[in-house]
Amino acid sequence: MSNMNITLPLTDDIVEKLRAGDDVRLSGVIYTARDAAHRRMIEALEKGEELPLDIRGQVIYYVGPTPPKPGQVIGSAGPTTSMRLDRFTPPLLAAGLKGMIGKGSRGPAVREALKQHKAVYFLAVGGTGALLAKQIKKVDIVAYEDLGTEAVRRLEVEDFPVIVCNDIYGGDLLEEGKAKYKRSVA
């Protein structure tokens, strides 16, 4: 496990260096999207339409931020559970998405798609939305404004803390943790 600072977007070279358990700080642009936005993006792909943003090399953060208070660029911005987005993930990875940030584990189809398309799944710590928001320096809505908090936003982040959960080598931090726990209890 190592510590890494990454300037986005992600490339194959960067993704190849990441391993489950790595502590990473992301700087650059990430995009937000949750269930409703994912549904629309998949519908666009199925119809052969272009997505509202070029997702090649990009990272999507599974978050529905709260409205900002005066003087803030964004309200609380904690991760949402990722598994509910599993059915949408493989087609987006095939379209060039390189990373996702959320909480919780991913299913087998997503883990396989990460290996196939050289992408990575990062964990952000749930319950830390107010702290994570401090690393977000600028916010713009870029698509699906009618979805409110679920609109796709472009976030400029600085030293945004995440941990590699699933890498392209089949590494799975959560499964490794469960196995280690079982060994220590047995």
Whole-number Å distance between alpha carbons of 163 and 173:
9
- Is 38 one of the catalytic residues? yes
- List, in sequence order, every residue forming a beta bridge with 178; answer none if it has no partner: none
Tell me the two tokens of residue 149.
């908090």
- Residue in 10, 37, 38, 105 annotated catalytic: 38
Tell me the two tokens of residue 86.
């599993």
Whole-number Å distance between alpha carbons of 99 and 15:
9
End-to-end CA distance of the chain: 25
Q: Which long-range contacts (CB under 8 A, 24 or more apart) does 110-114 make?
A: 110/86, 110/166, 111/166, 111/170, 111/172, 113/89, 114/166, 114/167, 114/168
Q: Which long-range contacts (CB under 8 A, 24 or more apart) does 83-86 make?
A: 83/107, 84/35, 85/34, 85/35, 85/38, 86/110
Give catalytic residue positions. 38
